[in-house]
Amino acid sequence: YSNFEQLREAVRERYRIFPYLYTAARETYDTGVGMNRPLYYDYPEEGKAYTYEDEYMFGNDMLVAPIYTPAQNGYSSRMIWLPGENEKWWDVTYNRLMSGGQEYYGSFTLDDFPVFYRAGSIIPLYPVRRTVVNDPGEIILKVVPGANGSGKFYEDKGDNQEYKDNAWTMTTFVQNRTESNISLTIGRREGSFDGMPTERKWTVQFLGMPASFVREGIMVNGNPVDDESITYDEATSVLTVTVTTDNLSQPIMISVPLGEMA
């Protein structure tokens, strides 16, 4: 197949987003509000939410603008409207922060997914894997810039209906930003179920991180972080901090100071 690599990457992405997807499914179960919904459901007073009928919310923190026209010279283009005049959105394709309440013209290759994260959101993901049956022991957190915000991560046994009897857990994430510091709190795991993980590796990816962050000032629960637990990709401006814990009943706070290196 000429598009085999793109098809395989789409399948991999489905496995990666499973924690976000499963958490959204729990919210649908609790509220009756579908995870896939038209923009006018969340933005009923904005006229363009009714005219951009093909865009949709995927859970609370992802907006999708699907491509459905043939590519020309390797690119397919379309107009995209991002809602919320006082909101911002993270363009996953181009690694940039976009203002809401505006229309944009975007060009995309077959390798691109036109997805936008809500500013301030925290997106839980799996690493690349071939199954969602067993817990991989690692959760990737995409910490989206542009605002203070939060996220959630829901878990249950996954192969029975004991969640109906409150056999499930929820972990909440909160980020706060100032001109001089970014703090992320991974809350204590609330609830329980049989066979729940006893330890976890958190791979925290701060998107859109300026290169002026103070590497040696990064703290986890007030303690300096080993240098090997920190990586920075200048090409994508992603700072990654890795934290492993065997006590999921205690919160974790990561602090990243901003400013010129001394």
What is the pLDDT at residue 131? 66
Same domain, 73 and 128: no
The pLDDT value recorded for residue 197 is 94
Residues 192 and 222 in one domain: yes
The DSSP call for residue 161 is S
Question: Domain end: 71, 89, 116, which one?
Answer: 116
Mark the ranges of the chain whose per-residue pLDDT is less than 50: 261-262
pLDDT at 261: 42
Q: Which residues of 232-249 are buried (b: 16+ CB within 10 A; e: fewer)?
A: eeeeebbbbbbbebeebe
CA angle at 251 for the pair 250 and 252, rounded to the nearest 5°: 125
Pair of tokens at residue 186: 């991974």
Q: What is the pLDDT of residues 245-260, one digit of tens each?
A: 999 999 999 999 997 5
| CATH code for the domain of 110 | 2.60.40.1180
Q: What is the DSSP track for 50-88?
A: HH-TT-EEESSSEEE----S--BTTBEEEEEEE--TT-E
Q: Look up the domain containing 127 and give its range.
A: 122-257
Name the DSSP letter for residue 194.
Answer: T
Q: Is residue 201 part of a domain?
A: yes
Q: Which residues of 56-70 are buried (b: 16+ CB within 10 A; e: fewer)?
A: bbbbbbbbebebeee
The answer on 168 and 75 residing in a single domain is no
